[in-house]
Amino acid sequence: MLEIFRKTAWFEGVSLILLLFFAMPMKYLAGQDIFVKTIGMAHGLLFIVYMLLAITLKFSNPWNYKKFGIICLASIIPFGTFYIESKYLNKD
């Protein structure tokens, strides 16, 4: 389950970066809102899966509330999920 969460975190992070740094500029600078619609939908679905997996893993792993909160907040910060993956989800 942790490996699925790690992969979901990576895809969620990539989708957020694409949404913020590609789709939004294309919408406001070039008038191409199709990118926001498609990438935004993918990002929304990945965000929901990320949060559901985080909640599920909270109960099956010894995560305290601080660690759980940081993992959840990382999903709304650009590059946050990459940091979480390297610091908290690392396969030592």
- The mean pLDDT value of the chain amounts to 91
Per-residue pLDDT at 92 exceeds 70: no
Q: Which positions ≥6 away from 42 have C-beta within 8 Å?
A: 15
Residue 91: per-residue pLDDT: 61
For the chain, which residues make up each domain, given as ranges?
Answer: 2-87
- Give backbone dihedrals phi and psi of 57, rounded to 5 degrees, phi first: -70, -25
Cβ atoms of residues 20 and 4 within 8 Å: no
Residue with tokens 């191409």: 32
Gap between the Cα atoms of 42 and 47, Å rounded: 9
Span 41-70, mean pLDDT?
93
Question: How confident is residue 53, by pLDDT bands cut at 50, 70 and 90?
Answer: very high
Per-residue pLDDT at 89 exceeds 60: yes
